[in-house]
Amino acid sequence: MSFPAIMVTLVVVTGIIWLIDSLLWAPQREKESKEPLVVEYARSFFPIILVVLIIRSFMVEPFRIPSASMLPTLHIGDFILVNKFTYGIRLPVLNKKVISIGEPARGDVVVFRYPKNPNIDYIKRVIGLPGDKVGYFNKIIYINGQAISQDAKKKDVALLAIAPARSELRFEKMGELGHDILIDPERILVEGETIVPEGEYFVMGDNRDNSNDSRFWGTVPEQNLVGKAFFIWMSWDWNSGGIVWHRLGDSIN
């Protein structure tokens, strides 16, 4: 079972036990009698589990970055928070949107359920919106025939330690703020054009030549969206075994 399914099950079970005890068992117990242990646990844990379920399902959810596909924006070992209501309120487990609030914007970093295996969560950047014609040629993105500008940048010391030696750092102007990307000038991956279907999104990793994204498996249906990544609350360097303090509290652009 998925974590949301487990949480919903626990809320239902503890809630039913507490309710039955309040309506049936408690009135029949002697005043001096101690309530059954299962009732005590249900009464104690029900509100805690309910609050956790509400926060995780409708407000924010934590995720850990397991790969380098979003370098330099996100590093392996980053622990991030995802806004669950930016793109609408969805029912837990069923993942059905019940309240529409907003839609992804070009340049958003989003968490979504991998279309090929919805049990796996992916994180990528939104490149193409519904109806867009997205092209990718010679490391450059084209949106409806217009090239997205890139400017060369110099890697800092921290990035030099984790990025491939031959990779190049560039600033890509997409969305309101723009973002950094990594490209490998010696590696050629999938190139071509695609039209994004209605209700779906074309996504790519910022580590352009080391990312399994829409270039390989297609677009992301709107119903697969989990939320918008917005904050790094913890970062752990698994190789050196310590907290990366300068990344704590960074926003995700």
User: 72-123, pLDDT tens digit by residue?
Assistant: 999 999 999 999 999 999 999 888 899 999 999 999 999 999 999 999 999 9
CB 162 within 8 A of CB 156: no
What is the C-alpha separation between 152 and 64, in angstroms, rounded?
Answer: 29
The last residue of one of the domains, among 58, 83, 102, is: 58
In this structure, the answer to whether residues 241 and 136 fall within a common structural domain is yes
User: Does 41 reside within a domain?
Assistant: yes
CA angle 120, 213, 198 (to 5 degrees): 90
What is the C-alpha separation between 114 and 120, in angstroms, rounded?
Answer: 6
In this structure, the answer to whether residues 111 and 168 fall within a common structural domain is yes
User: Does 213 reside within a domain?
Assistant: yes
In this structure, the answer to whether residues 49 and 82 fall within a common structural domain is no
Rg (CA), the chain: 23
| Count of CB atoms situated within 10 Å of the CB of 194 | 16
CB 235 within 8 A of CB 243: yes
User: 147-176, pLDDT tens digit by residue?
Assistant: 999 999 999 998 998 998 899 999 999 877
In this structure, the answer to whether residues 107 and 184 fall within a common structural domain is yes
In this structure, the answer to whether residues 241 and 180 fall within a common structural domain is yes
Q: Which residues of 207-242 are buried (b: 16+ CB within 10 A; e: fewer)?
A: bbbbbebbbeeebbebebbbbbbbbbebbbbeeeee
User: 23-44, pLDDT tens digit by residue?
Assistant: 988 888 777 678 889 999 999 9
User: Does 253 reside within a domain?
Assistant: no
- Catalytic pick from 57, 84, 124, 235? 124
Domain, as residue range, for 241? 61-247
In this structure, the answer to whether residues 151 and 194 fall within a common structural domain is yes
The last residue of one of the domains, among 41, 58, 75, is: 58
- Average pLDDT, stretch 198-221? 97
User: Does 252 reside within a domain?
Assistant: no
The answer to whether residue 186 scores a pLDDT higher than 80 is yes
In this structure, the answer to whether residues 97 and 195 fall within a common structural domain is yes
Active site residue 124: yes
Q: What average pLDDT is seen over the chain?
A: 94
Record the tokens describing residue 154, joined without a space: 């110099």
The last residue of one of the domains, among 40, 58, 76, is: 58
In this structure, the answer to whether residues 124 and 42 fall within a common structural domain is no
CB-based contacts of 163-172 (< 8 A; 24+ apart in sequence):
163/71, 163/72, 164/210, 167/209, 169/72, 172/141, 172/148
User: Does 73 reside within a domain?
Assistant: yes
The domain that contains 143 carries what CATH number?
Answer: 2.10.109.10
In this structure, the answer to whether residues 130 and 205 fall within a common structural domain is yes
In this structure, the answer to whether residues 52 and 110 fall within a common structural domain is no
Give the confidence band of 200 by pLDDT, cuts at 50, 70, 90: very high
Count of structural domains, the chain: 2
In this structure, the answer to whether residues 171 and 198 fall within a common structural domain is yes
| Cα separations in angstroms, 180 against 16, 75, 159, 183, 205 | 51, 13, 11, 10, 11
Which of 182, 200, 173 lies closest to 110, judged by CA? 200
pLDDT at position 32: 65
In this structure, the answer to whether residues 166 and 68 fall within a common structural domain is yes
